[in-house]
Amino acid sequence: MSILKTYDYYLLEEREYEQLLTRNADPSQAVHHVVMEIINDVKTDGDAALRAYAQKLDRVQLERLFLTADEIAALASSIGREQQRALEIAFANIYRFHETQLRKERSIETMPGVKCWREPRPIEKVGLYIPGGSAVLPSTLLMLGVPARIAGCKEIVVCSPPQADGKINGYVAYCLQLLKIDRVYLVGGAQAVAAMAYGTPSVPRVDKIFGPGNQYVTKAKSLVQALAGVSIDMPAGPSEVLVIADGSANPEYVAADLLAQAEHGADSQAILVSTDQRLIDGVQTALEDQLTQLPRAAVAAKALANSYAVLCDNLNEAITFSNRYAPEHLIIETDEWQSLLRKISNAGSVFVGHLTPESAGDYASGTNHTLPTSGYARSYSGVSVDAFVKKITFQHITAEGLRNIGPTVEVLAELEGLQAHKNAVSLRLR
C-alpha cells in the first residue's frame, strides 16, 4: 500500500485542486475559540494565567516564569563541546549571511535642491517565540536572534515552553549565550504570544512578535495583531515542503527530504510533484523503509497521511502547481534546476540540486528558516534583518529646491481642495 496518495495533474478538477492547496484551515473555528480564551485569560490574569497554563499544558509547576543569566550559564555548560561547536558554526554562517542585509542606502536628488533618503532604525522591543513542544528548536533561536542583534534591537524578549524540570534545555541556553541574551521566559504556545502582546508583571510587552509554531501559535499571532496592535513577522504555522523531482532524482534522497519535514509534527505536510511515475514508486518504497528507522516515526506517519504526490507531464506543469501551492520550502531535485529558477514566483526558501537538503537551511547554511506557510509565500518573505527594522524616509529642500518643486505642490494641493497644504508652500515662496 502506498504511503502517499497520488493524483494525476491533468485529471484534477478545480474543486479538487483547491482542496489540495488548502492547509492549516479552521473551518469550525475550534482553534480560534481556544486561542481567544487563552488570550483573554492572559490579558486579564497575567502571570497567574501563565502559571496555570504551564501546569495544565506543560505539566510543570512554576514559581518563577523566567531563568536568569546564572541559570542559563549553568544549563549551557551542561552540553558537550561537539554540540557547542556545531551551534557556533551555525551561528557564524547565519550571521555571515544576514549581516549583508543591513545596507546604507544612498540619498537621491529628485530635482535640483530636493534631496530624499531613507535610513533604517531598529524595532526597539521584539519578542521571539521558540517552539518547544514535540521538538525543541535551538536553531530557531539563532534564526531569530541573529538578525535581531544585527538590526540593533534594544530589547529581545525570548519565550520558550518549560521542559519537565521547569527549565530549558542546554542547547537553547548555549544559543542564548551566543546571542548575549541573559533572560528567557518559560512560557509556551498561544499564551506566550498573548504575554508578549499585552505584557504581564513578568513578561515585557513587545512591539513585534516573531517565530513559528503550531496552529494555536499561528492563530494567536494573527489575533493579537488585530486586537493588541502588535506587529508580527508573518503567518508561520505548521511546516511544509514541496519537492519537484524528475527521473534524474534519487528516490532515497527525495524520501529523506519528505520525512525531514514530516517529522516536525503531525500537522506538517510533505508534497511530491514529479514527472516520472517510476520515481514516485521508488519514493513510496523508500518512505516505507526509512520511516521504520525514525524515532519520530509515529509523528511523521501522521503528517504523511495528510500529504500526497502529484504526477505531471513536464517540469513546467510541476512549477505551475508549486507556484499555486506556494510552499514554505521548495526543493528542486532535477538536473535541469537552473532553467527552472526564473519560473519560481511563490516560495519561502528554495533548495536546488540533488545535494541540497532542506535540513541544511534549517540549521547551518546561513539562510533563515522562519518562513511563511499555508500559501502566504504568495505575499510574504521569510525573516531577515529587514523584519527587525523600520525604514524612515527623510527629505531636505533648499531655496532652489522650493522654487523648483513649489509650483507643482501648489497645483496638486489646489486640485485636491486642500488650501492649507498650498499655503504651506506659498508662504515660503513669497
Residues annotated as catalytic (active site), given as ranges: 328-329
* DSSP sequence for 233-267: S----S-EEEEEE-TTS-HHHHHHHHHHHHTT-TT
CB 283 within 8 A of CB 311: no
CB 182 within 8 A of CB 70: no
Instruction: Tell whether residue 88 is among the known ligand binding residues.
Output: no
The three-state secondary structure class of 223 is helix
Distance CA 202, CA 199 (A): 8
The number of residues in the chain equals 430
The three grid cell numbers given for residue 327, joined into one nine-digit string = 510552499
CB 271 within 8 A of CB 308: yes
Instruction: Tell whether residue 281 is among the known ligand binding residues.
Output: no
Task: List beta partners, residue 350.
Answer: 330
Instruction: Tell whether residue 13 is among the known ligand binding residues.
Output: no
Instruction: Tell whether residue 33 is among the known ligand binding residues.
Output: no
Q: Beta strand pairing status for 184-185 and 66-67?
A: antiparallel
CB 31 within 8 A of CB 39: no
Q: Beta strand pairing status for 329-333 and 240-245?
A: parallel
Instruction: Tell whether residue 329 is among the known ligand binding residues.
Output: yes
Distance CA 155, CA 203 (A): 12
Instruction: Tell whether residue 362 is among the known ligand binding residues.
Output: yes
Instruction: Tell whether residue 264 is among the known ligand binding residues.
Output: yes
Instruction: Tell whether residue 98 is among the known ligand binding residues.
Output: no
Distance CA 86, CA 38 (A): 37
Instruction: Tell whether residue 214 is among the known ligand binding residues.
Output: yes
The three grid cell numbers given for residue 254, joined into one nine-digit string = 527525495
Largest pairwise CA distance in the chain: 85
Residues at the annotated binding site?
A: 129, 191, 214, 239, 261, 264, 329, 362, 416, 421
Residues at the annotated binding site for Zn(2+)?
A: 261, 264, 362, 421
Residues at the annotated binding site for substrate?
A: 239, 261, 264, 329, 362, 416, 421
